[in-house]
Amino acid sequence: MTSLPPRIYLASRSPRRRDLLRQIGVNFDVLVFRSGERGEDADVDETPFENEPVERYVERLALTKAEAGFKRLHWRSLPFNPVLAADTTLELDGAIIGKPTDAADATAILQRLSGRTHRVLTAVAMSDGTKIRSRINVSEVRFRELKESEIRHYVASGEPMDKAGAYGIQGHAAIFIEEIRGSYTGIMGLPLYETAQLLDTFGYPL
């Protein structure tokens, strides 16, 4: 009798994270958070705590998402496979920069990033209901000086709206980037080196 290959859950709506897991041959099912199922079954509150360091913030959110994801396995009577979650944020001048709230916010974020070096932090976390572990990746990205017309065109494309820092390195914004130091996949939203470490910790074969 042939056993089924191991599987995990990915607690993320991000198509980029799905593609990266497929890239390294991980079998997964998407576990999304739904509002309205019950009071607690909604998106994790991503509001930073007062004076919270960005490293602690991004890791806290990844851990919270992994824990919340595993709770949903109980609520929805799903098979108990490990849950992988991630969170990505940017830091510039000590400030946390998340996803833009609207086009004006996206424009303001890109103006701040223009000609500057910022940090991209992605934390990954995994829970199997017994133990929970996390890893964090920190990379640096330098933007060239952006023209106002470039920013307007990019914001009008809609690409920045669901991305931390109002850009996606795998999209049109790649032409804005002079230099990166760190993990390309971490900047995309799922650092594969750290993800592979977590999978190994939970006994998932790669």
> What is the residue-level pLDDT of the chain in tens, covering all 206 positions?
445 679 999 999 899 999 999 999 999 999 976 654 444 445 578 888 888 999 999 999 999 999 999 999 988 889 999 999 999 999 999 999 999 999 999 999 999 999 999 999 999 999 999 999 999 999 999 999 999 999 999 999 999 999 999 999 999 999 999 999 999 999 999 999 999 999 999 999 98
Q: What is the pLDDT of residue 36?
A: 43
Q: Is residue 2 assigned to a domain?
A: no
Q: Is residue 191 assigned to a domain?
A: yes
Contacts of 96 (CB under 8 A, 6+ apart): 48, 54, 57, 89, 90
CATH code of the domain covering residue 123:
3.90.950.10
Q: What does the alpha-carbon distance between residue 126 and residue 130 come to, in Å, rounded to a whole number?
A: 11
Q: Is residue 54 assigned to a domain?
A: yes
How many folded domains does the chain comprise?
Answer: 1
Q: What is the pLDDT of residue 4?
A: 64
> Position of tokens 């890109």?
110
Q: Is residue 182 assigned to a domain?
A: yes
* Residue 28 three-state SS: strand
Q: Is residue 132 assigned to a domain?
A: yes
Catalytic residues: 87
Q: What is the pLDDT of residue 41?
A: 44
Q: What is the pLDDT of residue 43?
A: 59
Domain extent, residue 38, equals 8-201
Q: Is residue 142 assigned to a domain?
A: yes
* Strand partners for 40: none
Q: Is residue 206 assigned to a domain?
A: no
- Helices 15-23 and 192-201: crossing angle in degrees, nearest 10, is 70
Q: Is residue 139 assigned to a domain?
A: yes
User: Any alpha helices (H) in the chain, and if so which ranges?
Assistant: 15-23, 54-75, 103-113, 148-156, 184-188, 192-201
Residue 2, token pair as written in the block = 């042939």
